[in-house]
Amino acid sequence: MAMEIYNQVIGQQNFTMGATVSVVLLVPAGLAFVVDRLVQRRQYALVSAAARPLAPGRSRAVQALLFGYCSLIATGVVGIYLVIVLSSIVSRWPYDFALTLKHYRLDTAGGYTALLNSVWVATLTAVAGTLITFAGACLVEKCRTRASGVLYMLALLPVSVPGMVLGLAYIFAFNAPGSVLNSLYGTLAILVVSNLVHYFTVHFLAATTSLKQMDAELENVSASLGVPFYRTFWRVTVPIALPSIVGISMYFFLNAMVTLSAVVFLVAPGTELAAVSVLLLDDAGESAQATAMSVLIIAVGLLVRLGYWALLRGVTRRTQAWTTSTAPPDVGRRSQP
C-alpha cells in the first residue's frame, strides 16, 4: 500500500487518492492496538523482591550452530559494505581499479555540510526524542488515568504512516501561507520533528516494555513512606530503565542519520542531509561520490555505535549489578555463633 501511495502521489499527481490510501493504513494500526491491549492483560512484572531473571543453560552444540549461522549472515552483510568502500576509492567501479580519493571531495549536493547537518539533526533527535519518549511512556504506564488508553493508541499510530506520506503531510501543514507553523519550514527543526514522529512508536514501545518489568509496588511503598514521586522516579525508575534509555537514544540517532523517506520532501537549501545527498548524487550520475557519502555515513554510525556500546556497558555495570549479584562467600561464616 505504501507503493500505491507513491504511485498515486508521484506518478499520477493524485494527492486525494494518496491521502485516502494513507487513511486506510490506519485500520491495521487500530486492530494492532486492540490485540496489544488484550495481550497486556496477561503480562506481569519481572522485577520484584522475589524475582530474578532466568539464566538459561548453555549447550556447545547449539552455540556452535548459531555461531555458524550468524557468521554466514554477517559475511554477506560485510561483503556488501566492502563493495561500497571499494567503489568509493577506485577510479571507476568496476572498470578501473586504480586507487584514488577524488570521490571524497563531495563538491556537489551539499557536500560535507550535508553530513554535518545530518549529525546535528541526529543529535537533536536523540536528545529530544529520548526525553519525550520516556516521559510519554511514564505518563501512560505510571500515571494510570482514563486518558492512558487514548494516549497509548495515539503513540502507536505513527508506525502505520509511511515516511513519504508523513513528509507530504508536513509540506501541506507547515508550508501553508499564513500558518503559525510556516516559520519552521525550511529549517533543521522540522527535520527533527519529522524524525521524532516517524520513529516514535518503536522507541515508545521499548520504553513501556522496560517500565512494565518493574513492580508497581515500588511506587506504592515509596508513597507509604512519604517519599515524593519525583525522588522515586529519579532514584529507582531511571536507574533500572537506564540501559533502555541509552538504547532508545542510540537508535534515534542512527535512524535519523540514515532516514530518507520523510525528510526527502522537507530539505531546503542549507538544510541538506547526507542520506538525501546520496540520492541526489546517484540521480545525477555521480555514483562514486554517492558511495563516498555512504561510506562517511556508515563511519559516523559505527563510531557512534561504538561510543554507545561503551556507555551502555558502563551503565549496565553501574546500575544493573543487582540482577546478577549473589551472596558473598563469607555470609555463612558470619552467621555462625
Please tell me the predicted confidence (pLDDT) of residue 102: 86
CA distance 156 to 25: 12
Please tell me the predicted confidence (pLDDT) of residue 177: 73
Please tell me the predicted confidence (pLDDT) of residue 25: 75
| CB 309, CB 243: distance < 8 Å | no
| CB 263, CB 275: distance < 8 Å | yes
Please tell me the predicted confidence (pLDDT) of residue 51: 56
CA distance 114 to 122: 12
Please tell me the predicted confidence (pLDDT) of residue 36: 72
Please tell me the predicted confidence (pLDDT) of residue 334: 44
| CB 298, CB 118: distance < 8 Å | no
Phi, psi for 211 (deg, rounded to 5): -75, -30
Please tell me the predicted confidence (pLDDT) of residue 333: 45
Please tell me the predicted confidence (pLDDT) of residue 328: 46
Please tell me the predicted confidence (pLDDT) of residue 49: 52
| CB 10, CB 164: distance < 8 Å | no
Please tell me the predicted confidence (pLDDT) of residue 283: 79
Strand partners, 214: 47
Number of residues assigned to the chain: 337
DSSP per-residue codes, 167-236: HHHHHHHHSSTT-GGGGGTTSHHHHHHHHHHHTHHHHHHHHHHHHHTB-THHHHHHHHTT--HHHHIIII
Lookup: cell for 325 = 549479584
| CB 158, CB 27: distance < 8 Å | no
CA distance 273 to 253: 14
Please tell me the predicted confidence (pLDDT) of residue 151: 80
Please tell me the predicted confidence (pLDDT) of residue 269: 83
Please tell me the predicted confidence (pLDDT) of residue 109: 67
Residue segments in the chain with a per-residue pLDDT below the cut of 50:
327-337
Domains observed in the chain: 1-42 (no CATH), 64-100 (no CATH), 108-322 (1.10.3720.10)
Crossing angle between the packed helical segments 287-319 and 238-258, to the nearest 10 degrees = 180
**pTM score, two decimals?**
0.76
Please tell me the predicted confidence (pLDDT) of residue 280: 84
Please tell me the predicted confidence (pLDDT) of residue 181: 77
Please tell me the predicted confidence (pLDDT) of residue 330: 46
Phi, psi for 214 (deg, rounded to 5): -95, 135
Please tell me the predicted confidence (pLDDT) of residue 124: 94
| CB 237, CB 211: distance < 8 Å | yes
| CB 274, CB 257: distance < 8 Å | yes
Please tell me the predicted confidence (pLDDT) of residue 154: 80
